[in-house]
Amino acid sequence: MIDPPSSRPRLQDRDERSSLDVEQARYLRRRVQFWRSVAGALLLGIVLVIVVVAERQSTLGSRCRVALEHYGRIAAQLRLEEAEPATLRLRWQYLDPAPQGFLPAHYQILFNNWTAATQDAEAIPLAVCSEPHGTLTGTGRNVLFRQGQRLEARWVDEGPGSELALHGAAAERSLLADR
């Protein structure tokens, strides 16, 4: 650490007052420089942590979307839209796990929408993430939509996404209560 001005040796050829002023100025300049570098390092560390957390959240959200599209393709191949809701629920839970690491249980199925007839321009939600995912711009959920014959996973903000998840959870509870 830098020694305070009073304990450092003074130059003998200067008068007492000017020597003290120069020493104090050097001491204060070094002290300010030290604290600026500490603040810069701290700020850089905080920015680095924010970037890493944001990238991790973004990666989780995109892995979830890819897994949801994977399950949608498998469900279309198995023609689950023709199954009864109880059968649909059971077969969805036992789909082969996606390579992205998200299990089928990560998603709420919207049972009533699987059998609904669609027009080409209309997008109907079929499944939604049970848990929200965060990004730098906010939180939201991935939702599997059917538009005509095409299945597509889209990012939906947390407000409408949580309503879809609650709707799916309520449908599943009523399905289990009917047993």
For 47-95, the pLDDT digits (tens) are 999 999 888 888 888 899 999 999 999 988 998 888 888 888 889 888 8
Using alpha carbons, select from 53, 52, 64 the residue that is nearest to residue 133: 64
Percent of the chain, pLDDT > 70?
85
Residue 88 lies in a domain: yes
Q: Taking residues 130-141, what's their average pLDDT?
A: 83
* Structure token pair of residue 89: 């629920």
Q: Taking residues 129-144, what's their average pLDDT?
A: 85
* Alpha-carbon gap, residue 117 to 80, rounded angstroms: 14
Of residues 176 and 111, more confidently modeled: 111
Q: According to the model, what pLDDT value does residue 2 have?
A: 61
> What is the band of 13 on the pLDDT scale with cuts at 50, 70, 90?
very low
Of residues 167 and 143, more confidently modeled: 143
- The residue segments making up the domain with residue 112 are 42-177
In Å, how far from its chain's centre is CA 119?
33
Residue 2 lies in a domain: no
Residue 95 lies in a domain: yes
Q: According to the model, what pLDDT value does residue 119 have?
A: 73
DSSP 115: S
Q: According to the model, what pLDDT value does residue 164 have?
A: 83
Q: Residue 157: pLDDT above 50?
A: yes
* Structure token pair of residue 100: 């992205």
Of residues 34 and 133, more confidently modeled: 34
Residue 91 lies in a domain: yes
Provide the CB-side half-sphere exposure for 35 (13 A, CA): 5
Domains identified in the chain, total number: 1
- Residue 178 has φ and ψ, to the nearest 5°, of -75, -15
Residue 33 lies in a domain: no
Residue 7 lies in a domain: no
* Structure token pair of residue 128: 């939604």
Residue 127 lies in a domain: yes
> What is the band of 179 on the pLDDT scale with cuts at 50, 70, 90?
low
Residue 155 lies in a domain: yes
DSSP 106: G
